[in-house]
């Protein structure tokens, strides 16, 4: 297998953290998103959506989309489980991962993509007004997540899961988006510190 990677971009990083938690090593081919290397025709044949990451399976099949790649790896390497085992746990992790994708990471990405000068040639057109709307919507999401984390160690319950990976990457991505977690959200900040201390966080 080979993984087409995109450096510090959130979705490629989610896959790398997932692999690190699994202890799985896959050769990487990193494309420079800033130089639009993922827009090249060779890569477009692998993923017409021109998005990273893409995992090339042993039979040559290209597998795109972050969670599809993670689920494939989970099927090959079930332990440690990051998507859950029992039906309730599986459902809770799926719910929380979707929430972290749709209600947190998407908003942070919108602020970054529609306000950062480096994205001007990639996000066409940039819509600064959408960045401001996303910034406004982010505050109550962070407050809600802080309240949820006051009663538990991990996003989806009592064990580290893919939902923690998505949420950690989203919070980390706030820095280049020029956003910050408010100081009063102590449970969220403590959780983020715990996640950042995991060896996989540096992947």
Rounded mean pLDDT of the chain? 96
pLDDT band per the 50, 70, 90 thresholds, residue 122:
confident
Helix axes 66-76, 10-22, angle to 10 degrees: 10
Residue-level pLDDT at 196: 98
The position carrying tokens 């910050």 is 180
For residue 169, what pLDDT is reported?
Answer: 98
Give the pLDDT of residue 120: 84
User: 132-161: per-residue pLDDT in tens?
Assistant: 999 999 999 999 999 999 989 999 999 999
Strand order in the sheet with 28-30: 28-30, 2-5, 54-56, 62-64
Q: What is the structure's pLDDT at 58? A: 96
pLDDT at 118: 87
Return the half-sphere exposure (C-beta side, CA atoms, 13 A cut-off) of residue 134. 23
Q: Is the pLDDT of residue 72 over 90?
A: yes
Q: Which residues contact 86 (CB under 8 A, 6 or more apart)?
A: none
Residue 202 clears pLDDT 90, i.e. is over it? yes
> Mind listing the pLDDT tens digit for each residue in 33-51?
988 899 899 999 999 999 9
What Å distances lie between residue 146 and 103, 115, 189, CA to CA? Answer: 14, 26, 8
Average pLDDT over residues 15-24: 98
The pLDDT value recorded for residue 145 is 98
């Amino acid at each position: 297998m080979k993984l087409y990677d995109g450096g510090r971009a959130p979705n490629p990083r989610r896959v790398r953290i997932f692999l690190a938690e699994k202890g799985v090593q896959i050769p990487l081919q990193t494309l420079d998103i800033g130089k639009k290397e993922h827009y090249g025709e060779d890569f477009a044949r692998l993923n017409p959506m021109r998005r990273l990451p893409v995992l090339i399976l042993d039979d040559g099949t290209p597998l795109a989309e972050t969670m599809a790649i993670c689920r494939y790896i989970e099927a090959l390497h079930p332990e440690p489980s990051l998507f859950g085992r029992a039906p309730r746990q599986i459902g809770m992790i799926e719910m929380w991962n979707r929430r972290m994708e749709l209600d947190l990471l998407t908003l942070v990405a919108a602020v970054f993509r529609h306000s950062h000068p480096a994205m001007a040639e990639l996000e066409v057109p940039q819509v600064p007004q959408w960045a401001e709307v996303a910034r406004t919507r982010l505050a109550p999401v962070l407050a809600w997540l802080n309240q949820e984390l006051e009663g538990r160690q991990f996003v989806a319950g009592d064990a580290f899961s893919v939902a923690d990976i998505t949420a950690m990457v989203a919070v980390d991505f706030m820095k280049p988006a020029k956003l910050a977690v408010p100081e009063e959200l102590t449970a969220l900040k403590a959780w983020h510190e715990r996640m950042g201390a995991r060896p996989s966080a540096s992947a």
